[in-house]
Every structure is written in C-alpha cells, then in structure tokens.
Structure 1
Amino acid sequence: MALLSSSSPRLLLRSFPALARPPRAAYHDYIRILTPGGGTVRLPLNNPHFVGTASSRGERRQQEDFYAYAGLSLDPAELALSFKKMHGIDWDPTSLPPALARQVMFVGIYDGHGGSTVSQFLRQELHGLFENVNQSRFRKLGGYFRRFTGGALSSWVDKMLSEEREAKECGATASIVLLKSLDNSGFFQASQVALTVAHVGDTRVLLTSTEAGRVTPMTENHHADARVESIRLRRMMGGLTTDSFGEIRWMGVLANTRCLGDLKFKPYGVTPEPEVRSMVLEGPKWSHITLISDGVSSVVSDEEVSDLARGALSPKHAAERILSYAEDMGSDDNMTAIVVPLAGWGKITGPDRTKELRDYRVKGMQGSERQRGRWM
C-alpha cells in the first residue's frame, strides 16, 4: 500500500514468520471528507499537500528510519468516551456519516537502532495493531487512550517481537500522532481537531502555531539522564556511563531508556510504555505538526524546524527543506522529517526569526571536513 514508508511498500514479513497479522484490518491509504451535497469523497494520503515526507540514509550503511501513515477506523463510542473523559467534550458521533465518525488519522515515525528489524515491523504493523487492540475491557476505563496508557498495545508489541531473535539485540524509538477531526472536514482543514501523541525514545513531535511560528514540543527525549527517566531508573539495577563522544548511556549501551524491542534490557529498566499527551486544537490557530528522527533533531533546533516550513510550497517541500538543512549541518545519521498540515497551514505571522542564524550556521559549515566529504 502506498501509505506505508520510505522502503518498498511490498516488503514481506519474511523476517517475522511467527507474527500473525491483526484480523479484519480496516485502515486505508486515504481519508474521507463530506461534500457539500452530503456525500463523501476519498482523498489519497500520498498527496504531498496532505502529508509531506523526506528521508535519507545519510552516511550510515543501512536505513533504520521508517514511517507510516493511514486512515484508521475506530469505534465512535470509544472515541466519544475518550473526548469526554480527557477534555470534557460532548462529541456526538451520530452527527456524522458512520465512516467519518470512525475515521482517525495515524502518523508514525520509527527510528531503529542496532538493526532495522523492529523499526520495519512497526512501520508495517503498528497502525493495524492499534486499530485492532481488543478494548472491550478498557472502554469503561477511558476510551481509546487506554490502548496506550493501559499498557495493552506496548506489551502486545513486545510480546510479538519476543518471537524474533534479532529483537533481543535491537530496538526502535517511536512517536505516534493521532488526529481526529471533530467536524465533517479533513484533519488539514478542521476547525476543531483532537490531537494525541504517544512517544518513546528521542524521535520528536513539534506543534507549530500560526502566531509567529511558535513551537510546542509534544515529546520529551527519554534519555537516561532526563528528569522523568532518572527518577524512574533509580529503582532499577544498572547504571549510567559516558561514551567517548560524551553521551550518557544506560547499562553502557543504550541512549534511550524507553523503546520497543531491546528485549534483553527490559528486566533492567528499559520500558516500552509510552508517554501520552492529548490536546483539542482550534485548527486555524495551528500551522502544522512535524515529526523528526534524531538524525535531524541532533543538529537542528525545534525553532529552526518550525521556521524552515515557512513559505514552503507544500508539506512535502517543507519536509525536504528540513532534511536538506540537517544535511548542511553535517548530520551523518539516518534522517526523516514528516510534515502534517493543519487548517492554519501557510498562515504563520511575523518574521522568520531563525533565518539569520541558519544562514550563519550554513556559512560556518562550508569547507568543513564533513561538508567536503559529502560533496566529493
């Protein structure tokens, strides 16, 4: 399906003979919107104006970054319960055609480490797994948020990965964005949209306002020395070390202490349990959402990521600008950028506050060893 990722969408599960596909997958590579006449039309998600993507292997020997996007079909009663419990909103799914009431936009970014086994599995399967988690016992406890916070999804994924030998030695960080239009519009034009972000590791999700392009980070890096993680890890066996590059490692190996896979480290404090954040957005007040892997965020600030989307011809063009700048800044890691437009796309006010700094940084990189190596 065209919705899947930066590698061939026909990649088979030869690496996962023991993993059964979830039943009755209803997700699509399109979304539906309501026409003025009361009917519905399908809009393909591979349109660069709906989701913009850019990815590069950098100077690494293999690509371990992957991504996926899809239109999910979820129980409207479960969604209504979630919005009531989390936001105090009385959303009536019967006001929409059934297909629109069930529709949720899913976008995921997966940054593998130690190999691509886990990140490729997530690219192919996570959206289907999320859609098909058996939530009958969680419905009373809080709607579809319980797919994450109840532990059902993360523990299920690691249980499936336990059948794959390579998942003991490698893993992936991940950020998931869920967008639910609360009216009859697509996520990119909705006046009100519910945003949920579930996250493990150091991929990042950034929400950009139309007001001066201000950035709201929706994720926090789950590194061993981060406040939330250091408190949790004090109770576990293991310890922090500093590698030759000055980076903090847990158990002398892992930069991230929340991830999927890395199964041999799970008894020592590494957890697949995500942090989940949710907001209800007034669509016209927000320009776009950006998902990036650490190959980008390690060399580009959140504010620069936001400003690089200004004036872009499309979300695809914006993602390419972010990736190109990360390359200019010398990143040699796998790099991925995904830009998802909201109703305020193209309406950011005020000046580009980081342009002079970006120009200065690009000029400073000219002639460096990394740049010369990339241009040769």
Structure 2
Amino acid sequence: MSRVCLARLARCSRPHGHNSVFQMALIQQPLQQNRQSQTRRQLHSPSERRHSNTRFDPDSSGQPTTWDSFGIWDNRIDEPILLPSSIRYGKPIPKVSLSKVGCASLIGQRKENEDRFQVSQMTDRIMYFAVFDGHGGPEAADFCEKYMETFIKDLVSEEENLATVLTKAFLEVDKAFAKHLHFFPNSPATNAGTTATVALLRDGIELVVGSVGDSRAMLCRRGKVLKLTDDHTPERKDEKMRIKKSGGFITWNSLGQPNVNGRLAMTRSIGDFDLKTMGVIAEPETKAISLHPVHDSFLALTTDGINFIMNSQEICNVINQCNDPKEAAQRISEQALQYGSEDNSTIIVVPFGAWGKHKSSDPSFSFSRSFVSSGRWA
C-alpha cells in the first residue's frame, strides 16, 4: 500500500486531534523528503554501478552504454582522463601510463640477444614505442636504440604529420649509421642490419606506426587483431619486383625461406649496406589510425622470434587472458620459446581504455605450427 493511501486511511479513520496531527506529520515528512530526493540530480562516480534501465542499460548488466553512443563515459575505464587532449578532440581520452606498459625480451637459443626495445614519453603530447631486431651483429639495433628517438624528436618540432616524421627519421638514421660505419671500414658491423618498428601515440588517441623488416605492430580492437604492419619479405610481389629491378635476386634456403641475394630474409631494413644497391631500402611503410578507447584494448610490438611461431590473433588472445600488460609480455615471450622458437623473443604491450574488457576472447591455441628457425641469414 502506498504512502498516499496510508495517509488517506489515517485521515478518515481517526478524529482530528493532537495525536492525529502528529501522525500525519510523521507520514508527510517522509513524503516530502522522497519528493526532494527525486528532484535532486543523481551523481555517479566513473566506477560506480548504476541501476538498470532501458536507455542506459539495454543488456541489464548494470553497466551504462559507452560515451560514443549516448555521450557518457564507459565506467569500465579506470584510467584518469587527459583533459587537454579531451578538450582538443571533443571526447574523453584516457591517459596511457608508461608504468603500466609491459616489456619482455628473451635470448632464446641464440648466443646473443640482438633485439632492442624502447618506451618513453618523448614530448608532452607524444609517447614513443619501438622494437629493433638486429642481424649480423647488434650494432645496427644498438644504433637505432640510441638515436632513433632523437631524430624523431627533432623532426616533430618542425613537422606536424607523424607519418612524414617517421619516414624521414628512418632514412636519416640509416644515413647516419652509414656515416658511423665509415670510420670503421674493417669492422664486422659493416654488414649488420636491423628491423625497426616504431609507434608514436599523440594525445592518447592518434597512433602512427612505421616499420621496415618483419617486426610487427598489432592493435586489439573488440577482441580481434588489427594488423598495423606488413612484413617486408621477398614473398611479397611488390617487394620482389623492386629487388629484381634493382639487380638483386631471390633464392630459397633448405628450409624454404626466400632470401635476397642468398642471405637476407627481408627486403627493407636499416643497415645491410652491401645490399642497398640490390633494392633493400630503409624507407618505412606507415599507417595512421585513431584509437577508440572503449573498443581498443592494447597495442603490441613484436619481433620475429614471436611472429614466426605465433599468429597475430593468437598473440591477441593470449594477451587478453592476462591480468596486466607486464604479465602478458612475459607470457608471450616465454610461450614463443615453449612452442619452439629459437630466435630472440621481444614484445611491448601498451594498454588502452578497453584493457580487460575482452577476457572472454577465444582462449584456444593452434598447436599445428612450423618448428623452424626464424633466422634471417641463410
């Protein structure tokens, strides 16, 4: 029975004396408080559950719909909001914290770890992530680790387009490495080279990736992998055509792997100067993409010690089962070795707004994989 009915019943059944007035006051007081509470605006913290209703909770999960549908923030995102970026782009953008980025690099069955990686807050607005997989010695990877960020930082002050910045930086680093080796003509490092996969994240939402070689960058969106790079191998028709037009040739080793001039399993790299006249170039392919914080879980950069033994969706699924990016990076690098990879295994995992949202992704893995060496040299 409602409070209004109770009030009417009390009014009709009791004489109008002091006691009845007192009882009516007791009944009306909660009614007034209830009306005031209904007119008062309800405030909710980002992590607080709301009661279900048809507009904001269509699946009765107790969670509101995302901000890109109704203009409200998804309460599954616990990261603080980047206020300047959010104002600049007109929508809430969560902060990416370097302290939460996961990194791992294992030597595997090699005598030396020639992989290098780097993460940094390069400028107030731009974050820098990079992996370099050296071959023929670690010198080229070491040089990129030391100078690539510096070249990019200098170019960013003059050029707004990040894809253009990455293209210029890769070419300038390659030239600088050539000059560096000019002072050591008898050094074994003259034939050294490296892959380079670099990602720049500006304002927490603008992601640009540049890559040469077969290290990869991938984005997990709605639990599915989105490849941001394509391997530069002689198997690609466009890459093979450039090599042949430049006077180079393609051979296959005993494992069936194609190689440029019988020794290099990639068609683009930094270094490898003895093959530059044969069509091996340092110009990267770039890709720019805008992040969707409520759908994008993470960015992963990997070297071929992982890529040659685990496919991209499998990497995405394994990471989605982990509690945090650091655990994910360690698990992926170790799992690649357990599956039979003999190469160095390096990975960077950068969490975004939807981290942990897709833990229900398919955890099944394929065990029918190729257990061959992932070396680039024949």
Q: Same fold (TM over 0.5)?
A: yes
1:115-134 matches, cutoff 5 A: 115-133=137-155
Contact 2:306/2:345, CA 8 A, preserved across alignment? yes
CA gap of 1:303–1:261, structure 2 versus 1, over 3 A, is same
Q: Does 1:155 align with 2:177?
A: no
Q: Does 1:197 align with 2:209?
A: yes
| One-letter amino acid of the counterpart of residue 197, structure 1 | V
Residue of 147, 164, 168 corresponding to 1:146: 164
CA–CA separation in structure 2 for the residues paired with 1:52 and 1:264? 36
Q: Does 1:174 align with 2:234?
A: no
Q: Does 1:343 align with 2:353?
A: yes
CA–CA separation in structure 2 for the residues paired with 1:214 and 1:167? 40
List structure 1 segments (4+ residues) > 3 angstroms apart after TM superposition: 32-35
Contact 1:167/1:261, CA 8 A, preserved across alignment? no
| One-letter amino acid of the counterpart of residue 69, structure 1 | V
Aligned to 2:270: 260
Runs of at least 5 residues in structure 2 that lack an aligned partner in the other structure: 1-80, 88-94, 374-378
> RMSD of aligned C-alpha atoms?
2.7
Contact 2:211/2:284, CA 8 A, preserved across alignment? yes
Runs of at least 5 residues in structure 1 that lack an aligned partner in the other structure: 1-31, 74-98, 182-186, 188-192, 371-376
What is the aligned residue count? 278
Q: Secondary structure at the match of 2:140?
A: helix
Q: Deviations over 1:164-216 (max 9, x none)?
A: 245431100010111112xxxxx3xxxxx111010000001111113xx2111
CA–CA separation in structure 2 for the residues paired with 1:232 and 1:218? 22
Give the CA deviation at 1:34: 5.4
1:29-68 matches, cutoff 5 A: 45=98, 47=99, 49=100, 51-68=101-118
Give the CA deviation at 1:120: 1.1
Contact 2:96/2:352, CA 8 A, preserved across alignment? no
Give the CA deviation at 1:219: 0.7
Identity of aligned residues (%): 30
CA–CA separation in structure 2 for the residues paired with 1:33 and 1:350? 28
Give the CA deviation at 1:148: 3.0
CA–CA separation in structure 2 for the residues paired with 1:144 and 1:245? 39
- Could you say which structure has the larger radius of gyration? 2
Q: Deviations over 1:123-162 (max 9, x none)?
A: 12211111013874xx4xx63332234xx32232122111
More strand per residue: 1
Contact 2:321/2:359, CA 8 A, preserved across alignment? no
CA gap of 1:226–1:106, structure 2 versus 1, over 3 A, is same
